[in-house]
Amino acid sequence: TPSAVQKIKELLKDQPEHVGVKVGVRTRGCNGLSYTLEYTKSKGDSDEEVVQDGVRVFIEKKAQLTLLGTEMDYVEDKLSSEFVFNNPNIKGTCGCGESFNI
């Protein structure tokens, strides 16, 4: 989303050695999977690259099918600010919202 693009641009401004962010999934939590998001200095050999308004997002190979069709957003409210993944593939989530299953 435009909000996520703007936030990534702001974050990368302070990280000149990094070219973008990498999104992945890890086994974690009571429901199986959780998202990972980290700075990256280069595109991995099997990463999928998505460029949106000049922002480079790399998707780890093992996460590509899990994230197919997912929208990444950045949401701020009075108590928190976070990246949110709107993933149409999710079949269930845990009560705390930290993990999901496909």
**In the prediction, which pLDDT does 55 show?**
95
Instruction: Give Cα separations from 61 to 13, 30, 34, 52, 98 (angstroms).
Output: 26, 23, 15, 19, 22
Residue 19 counted as domain residue:
yes
**In the prediction, which pLDDT does 74 show?**
94
Residue 63 counted as domain residue:
yes
- Residue 98: pLDDT over 90: no
Q: Which residue has the higher pLDDT, 98 or 59?
A: 59
pLDDT digits (tens, 9 = 90+) for 46-89: 999 999 999 999 999 988 888 888 899 999 988 889 888 887 87
Residue 99 counted as domain residue:
no
Residue 49 counted as domain residue:
yes
- Which CATH number fits the domain that encloses residue 38? 2.60.300.12
* Count of other CB atoms within 10 angstroms of residue 29: 16
**In the prediction, which pLDDT does 87 show?**
78
Residue 77 counted as domain residue:
yes
Residue 10 counted as domain residue:
yes
> In total, how many domains does the chain have?
1
Selection from 28, 101, 22 nearest residue 64 by Cα: 22
pLDDT digits (tens, 9 = 90+) for 12-49: 998 889 999 999 988 765 656 778 899 999 998 999 99
Residue range of the domain that includes 16 = 2-94
